[in-house]
Amino acid sequence: MRIKTIQIIIALGFSLMTFAQETKGSFAKEVKVKLSLNYILQLPENQKEKFPLLVFLHGSGERGTDLELVKNHSPFTYQHLIPSPVAILAPQCPENVWWDSTALYQLILDISEKYNIDKSRIYLTGLSMGGWGTWKLAEEHPELFAAIAPICAPVDRMMLINADKLKDMPLKIYHGALDDVVLPTDSIEMYQKLKGINKTAELILFSNDNHNSWDSTYSNPKFYEWLLAQHK
């Protein structure tokens, strides 16, 4: 019986040693991803000099495959107020998803290479879901944009955490004070995060606007004057 007991103890010892083995290594794998976005691009006519690019991100109601929808509630409506030649790029988000910032980034790079774009004057603006996309893309690639203008934008926790990435970004935040779709506290909280580190950050609250604060923003000629005055 004593011999059997010793054998059992030895067997248990080997079992424990087997489970205690440690392996170190590394993992690397190249994964190919197809990125796809439909878009409208409006270019200035007869423009030989380099021109700025205004990127507009629509809200959730314009998602899908009907590209004409992206012109709704946008700078296209008020382009007669834009004081100098500018290209307007308006991608369309597919149905049932939110903006893919990787696809947006690659699209902007592609457009800026194909056309006579002044890369020191690429501007980003968007409303509601597009405002969320504006924050996300700008925080991921602050080096790309000369200025940003999110409108009635939802703000998530990671955006607040990464607000310091926009410390050198000229930006204005727009929101309706009566907004009951995306509460103005989202923009207020983001502004509070930014105001101590970014002297250019400005919050504009429209006292009589609900969720539609984009018309008050895009119908103001001073918006375009400020935007186009920014250079990297």
Distances (CA, A) of 209 to 5, 118, 149, 162, 213: 83, 34, 17, 28, 6
- Write down the H helix ranges in the chain: 2-19, 101-114, 129-140, 157-161, 185-194, 214-218, 221-228
- Confidence (pLDDT) at 143: 97
Spatial separation of the C-alpha atoms in residues 132 and 136, rounded to whole Å: 6
- Confidence (pLDDT) at 46: 82
- Confidence (pLDDT) at 29: 85
Greatest pairwise CA separation for the chain in angstroms:
100
Spatial separation of the C-alpha atoms in residues 183 and 137, rounded to whole Å: 21
Residue-wise pLDDT for 160-203, tens only, equals 999 999 999 999 999 999 999 999 999 999 999 999 999 999 99
Counting as low any pLDDT under 70, the low residues of the chain are 1-20
Decide if 142 contacts 113 (C-beta within 8 A): no
- Confidence (pLDDT) at 171: 98
Structure tokens, 222 = 């001073």
Q: Using alpha carbons, select from 49, 171, 43 the residue that is nearest to residue 118.
A: 49
Spatial separation of the C-alpha atoms in residues 105 and 61, rounded to whole Å: 22
Return the bridge partners of 51, or none.
117
- Confidence (pLDDT) at 85: 95
18-26 own/partner pairs: CB under 8 Å, 24+ apart: none
